[in-house]
Amino acid sequence: MRIQTIVIAGSLSLLSACQSLDTPAPDAAQSQSNTPTPAVNIEETQTSETIEVVEITDVWERIRLGLTLPVPEHKLVKQYREWYIKHPQHLARVSQRATPFLYLIVEEIEKRDLPIELALLPIVESAFDPFAYSHGAASGLWQFTAPMAKHFGLQMNWWYDGRRDVPAATVAALDMLEYLYKKTDGNWLYAIAAYNTGEGRVLNAAKRNRKKGKPTDFWSLDLPTETERYVPQLLALADVVQNAEKYGIKLTPIKNDPQIEVVNIKGQIDLALAAGFANMTTSELHKLNPGYNRWSTAPQGPHNLVLPVDRVLGFELALADTDAKERLNWERYKIKSGDSLGLIAQRFRTTPSALRAVNDIKGNTIIAGKHLLIPVAAKDPEQYALSVDQRQLSKQNVKRGNQKITYSVKSGDSLWKIAKAHDVKISQLASWNSMAPKDRLQIGQKLAIWTGNIKQGSSSITRTVNYTVRSGDSLARIASKFKVRVNDLVRWNSLEKSKYIQPGQKLKLYVNVTDVRA
């Protein structure tokens, strides 16, 4: 869909063709009579006015034209606006990540007649990274927690996580925002705040103010600090996008045309094979389909693949020419004494339910000496670099200390128990393994544990410092102030490769107090 803006050069008079509609048409008798027909002075009614049609070719421009929420000159709005202006590279990177998905999101928002500002929420939530995972166990572009994801219809299992499926998660997120808008009596600032903290907290805060005779606008509510900053950050971002030229920000143009298409493949397929059909690398395909956790799509669905629009036809032709049984690699496995579906599934990196479906097994009973058909990856695991296993392995191998221990989870283990046994913090252990502190462990799961992170000296005193980022701060400045390394700051706070920080952000530091005093 291309949006067109009509620019009218001046006011238009009625044209002669319009005037003739008001003049009764003569009947046949009249036309043959000598009665003269009233003349129309065309020169008096025509004008030289023109209509100019301006075609919008950039999605960012489409967003600019649709922004409607008022942006107050509030302290926090100013603070976040300054941050975005000082870090144009952040928005440049966001624009690059948003390129495949932003048109789809804007289309869905406009179809529902929602504020276009909502298209900017993924920047605040995840910096448009569909693989983003927070320590609050929120995942994906829209940062859904598991309970909220399930409530709004997203599937999650070993094979697939709908929170990271951008088309599916976008529908769920907008469903949730529409629900919150209704629950908050049509107040969009309340609804956006509730998306961050829940409608209960927002409505209760308004109720408390009402009882005390205080104003109940968003800016007057007593909410969690994160939420109090969440709405100003979005409004500041909207202001920066709307006035990008004024602030010296150049947003990389994104074509105002569909970039991707969702294709129903009607069955499971190896992602490497699908990538070949689409003339793409496996990683290129997986970036558009981050909802798939493993080396293939999910056995029980959804059976959708997101593809660039210019690759759909070639893919569909290749898919139609391939038998359904050839979409996966199969291994014939002879069941041994002592085997169970769980053990076999673990050995072949699949699930018992997938084995049951493929082999038409009811229950868990298998017989030694019989054979099972097992779907296996067509390529080496390393070729599926964006699968959960490979992403986790990549993060586990990032050097965090002097020595890495690989720990295999046993029955009865918990993150707390393992962290205590190895004298590390739960937050560190979770971060090293791409987990949230409350995530469940699975028996046999491999965890990376790094030791020797902080050197302990006989004359040193190490303390944990909770630092709130101030306007003008940078990681280098904070590191210098507390005499720690920037790399340690990044590691302690799970900032990964992103070294951008924002005012109000909380950072944890492990500081040698003796050094700082000196």
Q: Which residues are catalytic?
A: 125
Compute the distance between CA of residue 435 and CA of residue 471 in angstroms, rounded to an integer: 30
**CA-atom Rg of the chain in angstroms:** 30
Token pair listed for 148: 């909220």
Q: Are residues 239 and 72 in contact, defined by beta-carbon separation less than 8 angstroms?
A: no
> Which position has the token pair 């045309």?
257
Token pair listed for 199: 């409608």
Count CB atoms within 10 A of the CB of residue 33.
10
Q: Are residues 160 and 292 in contact, defined by beta-carbon separation less than 8 angstroms?
A: yes
Q: Report the alpha-carbon angle 108-113-118, nearest 5.
A: 65
Compute the distance between CA of residue 405 and CA of residue 391 in angstroms, rounded to an integer: 18
Token pair listed for 484: 């720690």
Compute the distance between CA of residue 222 and CA of residue 487 in angstroms, rounded to an integer: 35
CA-closest candidate to residue 330, choices 379, 288, 273, 375: 375
Burial 410-436 (b: 16+ CB within 10 A, else e): eeebebeebbeeeebbbbbbbbbbbbb
> Which position has the token pair 């950039």?
58
